């Protein structure tokens, strides 16, 4: 039983690290475009808090080495994700995110660690931190569901990364099995819920993935069509050895033409009047 739990723990470590690393592709795009677009920073902020507390829980718990290694790595990765998000998020979202990071990842985490070490003793420490970790892990698994409304509204999974949902599904399943073997309900309950929520996200992905592909293809064709149209216009003017008209030049030419016509009409009217008076009896 002990060897099986160790094997599951190692597998859980590998899957968890892959899950924590899955947003790397997303944040490469964020850095490349210098914009977070419609990505939500909440999942990364809550996961940073969750992994930080689980690392603390593993340090308090006897035999918690596997918990410390995986969550320590996850916390380090999410520090990078959160920093990148704060750099490239729009102004209003950036301010809200900074306040959230300060409240959760600095103030709240600091208070929990200080209170646990100074005010609590023995098994009460494990119970207190374990309950907090369980609640935050449920929040971590539920946070990507904030994108579900966007997915359903847009009928596109563009802003719900597949790898994150897939690895949350696997991670929840493996750690639930591990928790059953070692009889750790603080690990088992939230990861069981995470397994269910990951399944929901995967079902949504299967429902709307084709729609996302068709939208991307339509956008690509529209861009190609616009580029082709501009190229054809340039070629048309070039083939006729004529410069491409400047809008301001056209406007100036029209104004000059109107002035010329007005002057000619005035002159013509004056001449007719004078002729009429000369010919009058």
Residue-by-residue DSSP string for 218-250: HHHHHHHHHHHHHHHHHHHHHHTT-PPPPHHHH
Q: How far apart are CA 266 and CA 73, in angstroms?
A: 86
For the entire predicted model, the pTM comes to 0.64
State the CB neighbour count (10 A cutoff) for residue 255: 10
State the CB neighbour count (10 A cutoff) for residue 281: 2
> Residue 251's pLDDT is what?
55
> Residue 1's pLDDT is what?
59
The domain limits of the chain are 2-213, 251-281
Residue 186 tokens read as: 């603080």
Q: How far apart are CA 55 and CA 52, in angstroms?
A: 5
> Residue 239's pLDDT is what?
47
> Residue 28's pLDDT is what?
92
Q: Chunk the chain into consecutive blocks of 10 residues (it has 281) and report each block's average pLDDT, rounded to whole numbers.
A: 80 87 89 87 88 93 88 94 93 91 95 93 90 85 71 75 79 89 88 86 82 53 50 48 49 55 50 44 40
> Residue 276's pLDDT is what?
47
Interhelix angle 109-119/42-60, rounded to 10 degrees, is: 20
> Residue 240's pLDDT is what?
47
C-beta separation of 152 from 207 below 8 A? no
C-beta separation of 176 from 195 below 8 A? yes
Sign of the CA dihedral 57, 65, 177, 175? positive
């Amino acid at each position: 039983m002990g060897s099986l739990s160790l094997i599951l723990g190692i597998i859980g470590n590998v899957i968890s690290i892959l899950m924590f690393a899955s947003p790397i592709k997303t944040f490469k795009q964020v850095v490349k475009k210098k914009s977070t677009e419609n990505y939500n920073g909440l999942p990364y902020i809550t996961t940073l808090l969750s992994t930080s507390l689980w690392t603390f829980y593993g340090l308090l718990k006897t035999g918690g080495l596997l918990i410390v290694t995986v969550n320590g790595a996850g916390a380090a990765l999410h520090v990078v994700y959160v920093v990148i998000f704060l750099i490239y998020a729009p102004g209003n979202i950036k301010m809200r995110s900074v306040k959230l990071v300060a409240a959760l990842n600095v103030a709240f985490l600091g208070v929990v660690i200080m209170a646990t070490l100074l005010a609590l003793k023995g098994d009460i420490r494990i119970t207190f931190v374990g309950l907090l970790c369980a609640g935050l892990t449920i929040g971590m698994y539920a946070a990507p569901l904030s994108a579900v409304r966007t997915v359903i509204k847009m009928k596109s999974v563009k802003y719900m990364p597949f790898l994150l949902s897939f690895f949350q599904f696997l991670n929840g399943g493996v750690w639930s099995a591990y928790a059953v073997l070692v009889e750790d309900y603080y690990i088992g309950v939230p990861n069981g819920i995470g397994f269910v929520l990951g399944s929901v996200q995967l079902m949504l992905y299967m429902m709307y993935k084709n729609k996302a592909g068709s939208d991307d293809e339509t956008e690509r064709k529209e861009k190609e069509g616009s580029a082709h149209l501009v190229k054809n216009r340039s070629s048309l003017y070039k083939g006729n050895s004529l410069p491409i008209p400047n809008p301001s030049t056209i406007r100036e030419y029209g104004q000059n033409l109107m002035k010329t016509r007005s002057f000619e009409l005035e002159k013509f009217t004056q001449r007719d009047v004078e002729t009429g008076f000369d010919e009058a009896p």
